[in-house]
């Protein structure tokens, strides 16, 4: 839990949220069930899914850089 309060922990959490929501958006049943709301907590998931699908190159590069930082930099 203390890793969540560091900057790199927040970045990892954000990247995982965006990647997970973008993946769930590709599954038809889960898309209709989870990502149909655009307000509240589920709205955050919807917005993260939109970011993940529109900026997939930047998100994937960020994931690779973060993985390299965690494996080598820490």
Tens-level pLDDT at each residue, the chain (74 residues): 565 578 888 899 999 999 999 988 888 887 777 767 778 778 888 889 889 999 999 999 999 999 999 899 87
Prediction pTM value? 0.80
Distance of alpha carbon 34 from alpha carbon 19, whole angstroms: 15
Distance of alpha carbon 6 from alpha carbon 26, whole angstroms: 31
Tokens for 58? 């930047």
Residue 13: which of 50, 53, 44, 57 has the closest Cα? Answer: 44
Residue 25: which of 47, 57, 58, 55 has the closest Cα? Answer: 47
Q: Which residue has the tokens 């970045």?
A: 11
pLDDT at 4: 57
The domains of the chain are located at 1-73
């Amino acid at each position: 839990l203390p890793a969540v309060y560091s900057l790199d922990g927040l970045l990892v959490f954000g990247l995982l949220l965006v990647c997970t929501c973008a993946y769930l958006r590709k599954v038809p049943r889960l898309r209709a069930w989870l990502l149909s709301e655009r307000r509240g907590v589920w709205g955050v998931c919807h917005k993260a899914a939109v970011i993940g699908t529109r900026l997939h190159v930047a998100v994937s590069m960020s994931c690779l850089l973060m993985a390299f930082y965690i494996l080598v930099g820490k």
